[in-house]
Amino acid sequence: MLQWDIAIQQVWQFLVVLVRTAVILAALPLLGGQTVPRRIKIGLAAAIAMILTPIVNFSLPPNWLEPGHLVMALAAEILVGLVLGFAMRLIMAAVELAGNILGFQVGFAMANVLDPVSQVQTPVFGQLLTVLATLLYFQVDGHLLVLLALGSSFQVIPPFGAHLSGPLLPDVTDLIQGSYDTGLRLAFPVMAATFLIHVTMGVLGRLVPQMNILLTSFPITISVGLIVLGLGLPFLAVVFQQSVLGMEAVLWDLLQELGHG
């Protein structure tokens, strides 16, 4: 009978670990996309949970199977997963923002394609930056950073131990603000070049009224935008890599606040 109770407790521990793991993976920018089949998501979450379950040592609180305790426990696990997944998702959101800005500045705002990750219409520049960011994400071991944060979350925040703290909301707000800042930094070179072109074409329009500025500016803006984007790809790569590597400290701060709220 004792062995049966221990086996039942291990099954419940696995399910608790699986909930947090599945929520984090579902909120990630790449694995959480609709292009990844659900069977792969479920299988990957179950495999990671099976690896982490023997490592995570915690005891189930008394009467935790009561409906009220169970709902609060699962809500705490979902909260941890959503916060960590949302923080990682903001990195790709910055890239998508930069792509939207670049498409508008260069003149590709109407040339939209279906993004297979987000399943929404995005400019072609956004698609290009998303592919580049995806490759850089794996190059700097961003996926390993997620696994590290997931493993550390069980050490800092034991199951059923997550709490809402006062600094959590300001920190999430700072993350969103930092995402906008990163997106503008990624788009800045092309924005500066297209701004100079627009100013130049405006001056030419005043000096030479016979020139059709609207038709003339389109090929020039697109050409210069593509050239500047090509020359600025190393700069974009450095900014994105710094954002990914800087997420380690951000995720650790979020874990500390959730664990000691």
> Per-residue pLDDT tens for 108-146?
665 555 455 555 556 677 777 777 887 888 777 777 777
Residue 224's pLDDT is 84
| CA–CA distances in Å: residue 197 to residues 126, 184, 221, 236 | 22, 19, 7, 21
Give the C-alpha distances (Å, rounded to integers) separating 163 from 80, 83, 136: 9, 12, 34
Segment 162-177 mean pLDDT: 76
Q: Which of 41-50, 81-90, 96-105, 116-125 has the lowest mean pLDDT?
A: 116-125
What is the tens place of the pLDDT at every residue in 24-55? Answer: 877 776 666 666 777 888 888 888 888 877 77
Residues 27/82, Cβ–Cβ less than 8 Å = yes
Q: What single-letter DSSP state applies at residue 244?
A: H
- Helix (H) / strand (E) element for 122: namely strand 121-123
Q: What is the pLDDT of residue 174?
A: 82
Q: 233: pLDDT confidence band, cut at 50, 70 and 90?
A: confident
Tokens linked to 119: 């399943």
Side chain identity at residue 51, one-letter code: I
CA atoms of 238 and 191, how far apart (whole Å): 18
- The rounded distance, in Å, linking the Cα atoms of 145 and 29 is 13
Can you give the pLDDT at residue 114?
47
- 136 and 157 in contact (C-beta within 8 Å)? no
Write down the mean pLDDT value for the chain: 75
Of the ranges 82-91, 162-171, 192-201, which one carries the lowest mean pLDDT score?
162-171
Q: Is 168 helix (H, G, I), strand (E, B) or coil?
A: helix
The pLDDT assigned to 1 comes to 46
Angstrom distance (rounded) from CA 172 to CA 115: 26
pLDDT at 29: 65
Domains held by the chain: number: 1
Distance (Å) of CA 258 to CA 87, 101, 203: 13, 34, 56
What's the confidence (pLDDT) of residue 210? 75
Q: What is the pTM for the complete model shown? A: 0.74
- Mean pLDDT computed over 53-78: 70
For residue 261, the model assigns a pLDDT of 53
Running DSSP on this structure, what letter comes out for residue 211?
A: S
How many Å apart are CA 102 and CA 229, to the nearest integer?
Answer: 9
pLDDT digits 0-9 by tens, 186-200: 888 888 888 888 888
The predicted pLDDT at position 32 comes to 65
* Type of residue numbered 199: V
Q: Are 67 and 13 in contact (CB under 8 A)?
A: no
Question: Which of 3-7, 194-198, 227-231 bottoms out in mean pLDDT, i.e. has the lowest?
Answer: 3-7
For residues 4 and 36, what is the distance between their CA atoms, to the nearest angstrom? Answer: 37
Q: Identify residue 127 by its one-letter amino acid code.
A: Q
**Could you tell me the residue range of the domain that residue 232 belongs to?**
2-259
HSE at residue 45, side-chain half, CA atoms within 13 A, is 25
